[in-house]
Amino acid sequence: MDNNQSVCDTMLDVPKSVAPQAQKFTAVFIKLFEHQWKTYEGQKKVSTSYQYILYEFYANSNTHSKMSARKFCVGGNWKMNGDQKSIAEISKTLSGAALDPNTEVVIGCPAIYLMYARNLLPCTVGVAGQNAYKVAKGAFTGEISPAMLKDIGADWVILGHSERRAIFNESDELIAEKAEHALAEGLKVIACIGETLDEREAGKTNEVVARQMCAYAKKVRDWTNVVVAYEPVWAIGTGKTATPEQAQEVHAFLRQWLTDNISKEVSAALRIQYGGSVTAANAKDLAKKPDIDGFLVGGASLKPEFVDIINARQ
Ligand code: PGA
């Protein structure tokens, strides 16, 4: 770098997805410490990761001053959708948008496109596998492991989705074993639960979600890297969203279940997402509920309105 050139001139490549206030904060911080920055070797190479750290610092300091200590977390679940062209378009939309720095964003991408999406999505957006097996490697044709996800830069995995339970016959036990292994390998887990319409109509919602949580609890020792996604099956892909009150009722039940069965601390800290036909039109009202800490979004995560869902708390 030319010695007369300001560090700010070369380093203000803050991700476009970072909201203007976070960009300003990062710029001011770098300006203040300009002298020290000049002493580093190879600033250009490290600049992006340092900016990301600053951005995270900003986002976290803001979160803690807010009502809930739980950082809002929005997942996009692309399921078996997309191709290179549409993934490039979605990534461009997310890179160009001002995303709320107080919201953690993660995209569940088809396995074959994970690396491609990782390279195109903003660095502030996490990437998730939509499934992973319960062991590191071996003769399991067609499966992928948490170690492989980590290897290509994914840091999350979605487990226990109702489509995996219903279509691929995954049991509570298998899903819990997968969660245990994924956590041990250092992945973060979106652990899905939820009742079917028949179960809801039979008044069994709480019983079903408690059973699913019990299975996870038998295998999970540390809940720090877990986000629970409550997704009533009757609301998934049907356009029938649970009302904010219906969702809050189950989230409050889960919060109490965690207090009674795990600990007060885990109950206070664990994030519980709502999933099932979340759209830009209903996200704001759902996000106002005290125990809803984010969303897992299917169909709408493939559309530009996903940005408004991410920003639902603004
Ligand atoms: P949906 O899917 O938003 O299309 O209802 C949610 C999900 O399956 O995670």
161 catalytic? Reply is: yes
Q: Whose CA is nearest to atom 3 of ligand 1?
A: 298
C-alpha span between 307 and 185 (Å, rounded): 31
Per-residue pLDDT band at 50 (split at 50, 70, 90) = low
Per-residue pLDDT band at 57 (split at 50, 70, 90) = low
Query: In a mutational test of the pocket of ligand 1, which residue from 159, 167, 233, 236 has the highest number of ligand atoms less than 8 Å from its CB?
Result: 236
Residue 237: pLDDT over 80: yes
Query: In a mutational test of the pocket of ligand 1, which residue from 278, 295, 302 has the highest number of ligand atoms less than 8 Å from its CB?
Result: 278
pLDDT, position 16: 47
Name the least confident of 59-73, 180-194, 222-236.
59-73
pLDDT, position 102: 97
Identity at 4, one-letter amino acid code? N
pLDDT, position 14: 46
C-alpha span between 123 and 78 (Å, rounded): 18
Cα of 110 to ligand 1 centre, how many Å? 15
pLDDT, position 45: 42
Q: Which residues contact 273 (CB under 8 A, 6 or more apart)?
A: 73, 74, 75, 190, 227, 228, 229, 230, 292, 293, 294, 295, 296
Per-residue pLDDT band at 9 (split at 50, 70, 90) = very low
Per annotation, catalytic residue among 104, 161, 251, 305? 161
pLDDT, position 52: 54
C-alpha span between 101 and 109 (Å, rounded): 22
Per annotation, catalytic residue among 170, 177, 199, 231? 231
For ligand 1, is residue 276 a contact (CB within 6 Å)?
yes
For ligand 1, is residue 194 a contact (CB within 6 Å)?
no
Mean pLDDT calculated for residue range 213-226: 98
CB-based burial label for 282 (10 Å; 0-12, 13-18, 19+): buried
Mean pLDDT calculated for residue range 153-177: 98
Per-residue pLDDT band at 155 (split at 50, 70, 90) = very high
Q: Mind spelling out the 3-state secondary structure of 149-178?
A: HHHCCCCEEEECCHHHHHHCCCCHHHHHHH
Closest atom of ligand 1 to CA, residue 275: 6
Residue 64: pLDDT over 90: no
For ligand 1, is residue 299 a contact (CB within 6 Å)?
yes
Radius of gyration of the chain (CA): 20
For ligand 1, is residue 103 a contact (CB within 6 Å)?
no
Closest atom of ligand 1 to CA, residue 236: 5
Averaged pLDDT of the chain: 87
pLDDT, position 67: 46
pLDDT, position 69: 85
pTM for this model (two decimals): 0.81
